[in-house]
Amino acid sequence: MSRLRQLRPRRWLGQAAFLVFLLSVPAWAPNRFWINVASQALIFAIFAMSLDLLIGYAGMPSFGHAAFYAAGAYGGALWALHLSSALLPLLAVGLMAGASLALVGALALRARGIYFLMLTLAFAQVVWSVLSNNQLANVLGGDIGLISVPRPVLPFAADVSLFRPANFYFLTLTVAIIVYLALAAVVASPFGHTLEGIRENEGRMESLGYPTFRYRLAAFIIAGALAGLAGMLGGSFNFSATPATAFWTTSGLAMIAVIMGGSRSLVGPAAGAIVVVLLQLGLSSLPARGLAERWQLLLGVVFIAFVLFLPGGLYGLLRRRAA
């Protein structure tokens, strides 16, 4: 117990230092390009933290999480293009789009283990095929997707343009902090402890009277809603919503971020997402001929190295160092 009390202040200090680092990015970033990279990393961090609720706490590895991200991107894009670009309604649309699609995909919860994984993968591919269907191009844009999506407009501060990279970065940072605090409250609550019990031994939790399916469904919907929120921000950042966001590789990158950062920590997946974005950028811009086109292969090698030598991820390494 005394060791835990010693570790908690160190953990809080580490998280505070990480927050100060994120707040200072626009001050020392060399140009607008790197501020945009930081915004992209924060959006992916929100996506990875939502997936960590399923993988790390509920024990439900999903390859269909990209479908909820795409739902938020398309929902926000359609709302901004045809109705309003006000920020608060767009955030709500992203959440509701992800949650509603998660409710549809909850049929996969009837399965367990590898069967659940494959059902979520199939669900995401169905969503991808619908979005890329050219017969729906007049609504969803077909292969091209929805383009020229406007950036949100801040309430009571319409003169603050989110087209400026620094302003959009602070918006994504604010949303990321809110998502982290909300997820931290969820996993520390009795609901979160019940999810961990279901992950460890679902049969025993059922024998104790817990409606395990309802708990897993609630976690699935919460994770889907937050993934939709990340998708809405991603669509605003890229000025577009494309079918590629629903492809299974998007879920795979998020899963890599969770494992590299360390599941069951929230901070770990966020840090892992930042590492994955930076690796993707660095490996895809290598000067060596032929290597830039094979950045996925190089990222796979880095991922294998993490699994072999850092099975607990970056956060697990820091915890061992602190201990």
Cα separation, 299 vs 266, whole angstroms: 22
DSSP string for residues in 146-211: EE-PPPPB-TT-TTS-TTSHHHHHHHHHHHHHHHHHHHHHHHHSHHHHHHHHHHH-HHHHHHTT--
> How many structural domains is the chain composed of?
1
Structure tokens at 195: 């999810």
* Angle at which helices 65-82 and 248-261 cross, to 10°: 120
CB 230 within 8 Å of CB 32: no
User: Is 10 a member of any domain?
Assistant: no
User: Is 314 a member of any domain?
Assistant: no
Residue range(s) defining the domain that contains residue 114: 32-248
In this prediction the pTM is 0.90
pLDDT at 95: 93
User: Is 63 a member of any domain?
Assistant: yes
User: Is 201 a member of any domain?
Assistant: yes
User: Is 284 a member of any domain?
Assistant: no
| Per-residue pLDDT in tens (0 to 9) along the chain, 323 residues | 445 455 566 667 777 777 888 888 888 877 788 898 899 999 999 999 999 999 988 888 888 899 999 999 999 999 998 888 888 999 999 999 999 888 887 888 888 888 888 888 888 899 999 888 888 778 888 888 888 888 888 887 767 788 888 899 999 999 999 999 999 999 999 999 999 999 888 888 888 888 888 999 999 999 999 999 999 999 999 998 899 898 888 888 898 889 888 888 888 888 888 888 888 877 666 665 555 566 677 777 877 887 777 777 777 677 666 66
pLDDT at 296: 72
User: Is 12 a member of any domain?
Assistant: no
User: Is 121 a member of any domain?
Assistant: yes
Structure tokens at 248: 């299974």
Nearest to 251 by CA among 49, 47, 73: 47
DSSP string for residues in 217-284: HHHHHHHHHHHHHHHHHHHHHHTEE-GGGGSHHHHHHHHHHHHHH-SSSSHHHHHHHHHHHHHHHHHH
User: Is 320 a member of any domain?
Assistant: no
CB 283 within 8 Å of CB 295: yes
